[in-house]
Structure 1
Amino acid sequence: MDELIRDLYGEPAADPGARERVRARLEQERVRPAAAHRARPPHPARRRLVGGLLLAGAGAALAVAYPALTSEPDSRPGQAVTVSGESILLAAATRAESGTAGGAFWHVKRQSAGRVTELWAARDGRAWSGAGGALSRTDRPFSLAGRSMSLAEIQALPDDPERLLSAVTALLPALPEGTRDGVMADALSGLLWSKPAPPGVRAAAYRALAGLGNVRYLGRTVDSLGRPGVGFAYDLRWPRASHRELIIDPDDGQVLASVTDGGSELVLEAGWTDREPRP
């Protein structure tokens, strides 16, 4: 790992074969006949899924486009460090893996079009959502790949990138040809911030994204609040054509914003806390 990545993130865990394994798994899922997906029996409400960061607003099969590289100046004269989007996502995975998941409530606070909304979820499954400080109970706090999921099901997702890809693929409906990659990327990106994925699952989501091919690295950028980060983009072709960008804080691997054709969704808070909601 080059010096800039070490400076930003520390030394990421080496796994030279991860990218190829994830790419091979994605290719297997892409060529699988759509009829096989339509014939798949309904999934039980709760099960140990096969196959965490990531999709709320996710969608799966992300891949960093090569050669989407940027060169940053080194502190030594005449030297340059080349940083790839893949390296940044893998380093973010290492950061996510070392995170903690303590606290009694999962809390997400976001802003879109000047409107602030919140979601609170207790570990026992109770959940509240609302805007402007007014909260009410909700029975469907989370979804992944278009499927409603409980907090327990999110927590039970696998922390291996290949198995996580398989788990998300199993949730997908029958999709039109050429749309699966964008939906997969969107699902994985949601696991990075909008859902209570454990640290290992968030890390797996980052690694799965790093091994896919339809995600483009945009380099350094800022969100609409002026917070600096690095950008990644992918296109969605289902259920309608759209473009999505994620802005990630390189210091801690947290998502700062999710930007679509219709505007930006700013992540103000996302994580576990011992503060209590006040419905």
Structure 2
Amino acid sequence: MNVADLTAIDFHVHVEQDAHGHFALDDELMEASSAYFKSAEHRTPTVDVIAAHYRERRMAAVIFTVDASTALRHPALSSEEIAEAAAQHPDVLIPFGSVDPHAGAKAVTRARGLVTDHGVRGFKFHPSLQGFAPNETAFYPLYEALQELGVPALFHTGQTGIGAGLPGGRGIKLGYSDPMLIDDVAADFPDLKIILAHPSVPWQDEAISIATHKANVHIDLSGWSPKYFPPRLVQAASRQLRHKVLFGSDFPLITPDRWLTDFAALDIKPDARPLILKDNAVRLLGL
């Protein structure tokens, strides 16, 4: 990957279909999230399609799935296969892995293998979708492994469009994605790089506070069109957190084109823009 040639690095891109035609979510959840995001885009691009999309834009993308096998009772896409497919596009794709935290010691072993054998550069967690409280010590051996391996952990925070509008939200509990639960993890694992994904509504102030207080915590700006960002998040991204905030779209639900168009209209200081769009990600990932 020639970082100098890239215009941006999108830190938050979902793989929702594998090469075998399997999907990350069941039909009901897929339809509900599409309705929530009012997304007319093709929802299920494969890794090869994602690579072409970002290569055309001279961008790189951090790609991943979410392994919520236990909580959703739906088979997850293979992070190993995603990493292998990403290896065919090293100029634009940066693979992250996902393991089911409920798998215990098996999750730890698998995480190690994803890094050492498959070149995974980090891990994605979705506490609400995976049905776990991030600060429960039962999951600490997994964080210990990631800290030892030197790879970051990206946590979904705040409201989720998955299950939105369904009875009981399909049992998906928003409280698991309160960033204050991740503050405990950041405190107990000071060498683990952590990214709080999305504007953390309804806990935006908490996320800003955590990222300000903990040197190992960052924020990505995915999942919302920038025109809807809370003013306090825009202010923090432009000022005290300009070295800790990352561009992320949430593709395919939000395209990088739409995100960047709306971001251009925000009151962000000129010196903060290249940091957010690329430089912070380069440093965080050691590219």
- Indicate whether the TM-score tops 0.5: no
TM-score normalised over the length of structure 1: 0.29
With a CA cutoff of 8 Å and minimum separation of 6, indicate the structure with the bigger relative contact order.
1
Of structures 1 and 2, the larger Rg is shown by: 1
Instruction: Give 1 or 2: higher helix fraction.
Output: 2
TM-score normalised over the length of structure 2: 0.29
